[in-house]
Structure 1
Amino acid sequence: MRMTTRELNRATLGRQLLLRREALKVGDAVRRVVALQAQQPASPYVALWNRLTDFDPVDLDAAFGDRTLVKATLMRITLHVVHADDHPAMHTAMRPTLRGARLGDRRFTASGLSAADADMLVPHLLEFAGRPRTAAEVEDWLHTRLAVLPKGVWWALRSFAPLLHAPTGAPWSFGSRPSYVTAGTPPTPEGTPDECLRALVQRYLEGFGPASVADVAQFALVQRSRARDAVHAVSGALERLEGPDGTELFDVSGAPRPHEDTPAPPRLLAMWDSILLAYADRSRVIPPDYRKLVARSNGDVLPTLLVDGYVAGVWRPVEGGIEATAFHRLSGEAWDGLAAEARSLVALLTDREPRAYRRYDRWWATLPSAEVRVLPG
């Protein structure tokens, strides 16, 4: 079966709760969408506001507080929010990537320590982080154990050791100065990293399928050969499909794939929303001409307007509402839909941080000439 680009788009939006908001608890919602990008503290809140009916940010605060949901360095060596039940297998699957990316970097090797030295520190670090510890506290602790400056060592350990970010308070549960706590005992599940990667493939396809081997490798940032082996190991339980360009795609058997004509309502996606990063071929959501406008040179991925299922521009909070910049002419109906979304989003931000994402305003000076409207709250 060959899928069209719009069919892939609608499949992604359906799995990611973006065709219609659902009445789910926040923990169940994150299980459904697999993982939320969380480099910017506001983004998981905006992501769930886009996906849930009557979303109350207090519910997400509580889920972080009781560890129903956890925040950690995982896929693509970036911060994600995932369900606590998913974290052990995800971390184990990602461990070779996390460990290799950090222990081979000059920021760590300049310390003079070996990879084996770092591995020996991990059990002691997890014991020390049995309660939340700031970065300064961990560096002081490392300084008492090492005859080298601990900065590069801690930079490596905090990425590949099984640590969680501990909530630090308002407005978005996690602030700019993180605290860390051990993920628990045992910190990893039974199974090798490759066995856990197979489980991650299954979860990825549930939330983002259909997808190719290259998409799996991009989502997790693992070697293409490792992604291929993991997909083929579980392919007996998967459906095989064909993409618009003939690429082989895989999907969970019986998974919903909405018709390409299914309406897709406008949305104001969070910065670094997962659907913008989860594929090698991002054209199922981002028109190729817009990719460099949205994904900036340093890796920042701007908050976007989603119209008819595709990125149509960017947005940011400003005085008086949400400033929406459209990269092409939008219909009056589309603007009306975005205005309704903006009123709801302003209410969310006003109670927390009215100018969330303000530190990224510099990117707006480099955008091309476009239609700009301030949508009032």
Structure 2
Amino acid sequence: MTITARALNRATLARQLLLGRERLDAVEAVRRVVALQAQQPASPYLALWNRLSDFDPADLDAAQADFRTVRTTLMRITLHTVHREDYRAFREAMEPTLRASRLGDSRFTASGLDADDARAVLPDLLDFADRPRTNAEFGGWLENRLGGPLDPAAWRMLRQYAPLWHVPTGGPWAFDTRPPYVAAGTRPAPAGPEVASEGLKTLVRRYLEGFGPASVADMARFALVGRARVRAAVQALTDELEQLAGPDGTVLYDTPGAPRPAESTPAPPRLMAMWDSTLLAHDDRSRVVPPPYRKLVTRVNGDVLPTLLVDGYVAGVWRAVDGGIEATAFHPLPGHVWKGLATEAGSLTAFLADRDPGVYRRYDHWWAKHLPAAETRLLP
């Protein structure tokens, strides 16, 4: 069976709850979409606002406060919010990547420590983190354990490797830039090839449920895991997965029975969060981001701007300004699309009013750096 590019777009949008807002609680929604990119604390909230009917941000506050959803370093070595029950397998899948990238980083090895030292100290560090601990508290503990202070950069690498969860601190979006940390309540099994392999099989299944159909290259890019490891996991799941041919003949995999709407299915306009996972989940990002726009929305340092989604594809960017939402379209949009975006902007403005009307303001400098505009409007 061959699937078209537009049908791939619709399949992913359906699984990401972007073809129509659904009535789900925040915890179940996080499970359904698999992983919400979370290095900017507001983004998981805006991601769920885009996907759920009558989303109350207090629901996500509560889920994060009691760790039904958890914020931690996972796929692509960056922060994600995931369902608590997904955490262990995801962390086990990511173990080789996290170990190589964090414990092999020169910022860690410059401290004189190596991966063996980290593994030796980790059990006691996690025992110390049986309740929320600040960076200062970890620093004092490590100084006593190591006989001298650990450089902040080395601690950052160790912290991102260790199975630690971020602890909410309050504020408009639950987390600030220096949250406390606590040992993961569902600890990954001790590192080893078999554990990592089983975890990766689970991650592949879950990824396909949320972002499929997809290729080996897509899965590897989503997680930042070597293609050989992904290929082995897919081969082990051969009896569980369907195969399709992509638009260019690439072999794609999928879970049986997963949604694949007709390519003619309407896709409503959306104002997507910064770093929304849908924009970053595939090696071939043209599934959602037209190639001419990729470097416009993904800046040179990796910042992924908040985007306009029109007919299922990125068509521009938006930012919060005094008076509403400034929407910049990269190509001309018809009147009915602007009307739909205005409706979304009115809803978003109301959503932000009690929390953070100037969300993402610190990224406004990108608007002065070559963002071609067919038209810019203040909405609603």
Is 1:119 the counterpart of 2:123? The answer is no
Q: Which ranges in structure 2 are unaligned for 5 or more consecutive residues?
A: none
Q: How many Å separate the matches in 2 of 1:243 and 1:147?
A: 56
Q: Which moved more, 1:262-271 or 1:106-115?
A: 106-115
| Structure 2 Cα separation of the partners of residues 71 and 80 of structure 1 | 6
What is the aligned partner in structure 2 of residue 343 from structure 1? 346
Name the SS of the counterpart of 1:113 in structure 2: coil
1:153-199 deviation digits (Å, cap 9, x = unpaired): 31122111110000111211111112110012544499601111001
Q: Which residue number corresponds to residue 310 of structure 1?
A: 313
Structure 2 partner of 1:152:
153
CA contact (8 A) 2:92 2:188 kept: no
CA distance in 1, matches of 2:79, 2:40: 9
Which of 367, 373, 378 matches 1:374? 378
Q: In the TM superposition, what whole-angstrom CA distance separates every residue of 1:327-372 from its partner, at most 9, and x where no partner exists?
A: 0000101000000000111111111011110111111101124311
What's the CA shift for 1:255?
Answer: 1.2
Amino acid across the alignment from 2:372: P
Q: TM-score, normalised by structure 2?
A: 0.97
* Amino acid across the alignment from 2:101: A
Find the counterpart in structure 1 of residue 85 from structure 2: 85
Residue equivalent to 2:262: 259
TM-score, with structure 1 as normaliser: 0.98
Aligned partner letter, 2:111: S
* Cα displacement (A) at 1:285: 0.2
Distance 1:188 1:29 in 2: 26
Equivalent residue number for residue 289 of structure 2: 286
For 2:187 and 2:161, how far apart are their aligned partners in 1? 15
Residue 137 of structure 1 corresponds to which residue in structure 2?
A: 137
- Which of 235, 240, 253 pairs up with 1:250? 253
Alignment deviations for residues 221-271 of structure 1 (CA, whole Å, 9 cap, x no partner): 001111111111112111100111110000001211000000000000000
> Contact conserved, 1:88 with 1:189, CA < 8 A, in 2?
no
Question: In the comparison of the two structures, how many residue pairs are matched?
Answer: 376
Task: State the one-letter code of the partner of 1:217.
Answer: A
Rate the CA distance shift 1:319–1:185 in 2: closer, same or farther, 3 A: closer
Letter in 2 for 1:259: A
Partner of 2:18: 18
- The answer to whether the 8 A contact 1:89-1:189 is kept is no
328 and 186 in structure 1: CA distance in 2 versus 1, 3 angstrom threshold: closer
Give aligned-pair identity as a percent: 67
CA distance in structure 1 between the partners assigned to 2:148 and 2:283 by the alignment: 40
Distance 1:188 1:207 in 2: 25
Instruction: Please report how far the alpha carbon of residue 148 of structure 1 lies from its aligned counterpart in structure 2 after TM superposition.
Output: 4.5
In 1, the alpha carbon distance for the partners of 2:190 and 2:27 equals 20
Pairwise CA distance, 1:144: 1.7
| Mapped partners of 1:85, 1:331: distance in 2 | 44
- What secondary structure does 2:58 align onto? helix
Structure 2 CA distance for aligned equivalents of residues 189 and 338 of structure 1: 49
Deviation string 1:24-60 (CA, Å, 9 cap, x unpaired) is 0111111110000000000000000000000000111
Q: Which residue type is aligned with residue 121 of structure 1?
A: V
Matched letter for residue 100 of structure 1 = A
CA distance in 1, matches of 2:373, 2:26: 38
Other structure's SS at 1:262 match? coil
The answer to whether the 8 A contact 1:171-1:352 is kept is: yes
Structure 1 counterpart of 2:223: 220
Letter in structure 1 aligned against 2:134: T
**Consecutive unaligned residues in structure 1, runs of 5 or more:** none
DSSP-derived class of the 2:124 partner: helix
Q: 1:111, 1:148 within 8 Å by CA — same for their partners in 2?
A: no
Q: Which amino acid aligns with 1:164?
A: W
Tell me the distance in 2 between the aligned counterparts of 1:148 and 1:371.
58
Between 76-85 and 186-195, report the one with greater CA deviation: 186-195
Q: Which moved more, 1:351-360 or 1:144-153?
A: 144-153
Counterpart-to-counterpart distance in 2, 1:75 and 1:220: 4
Tell me if the contact between 1:21 and 1:52 (Cα under 8 Å) persists in the aligned partners: yes
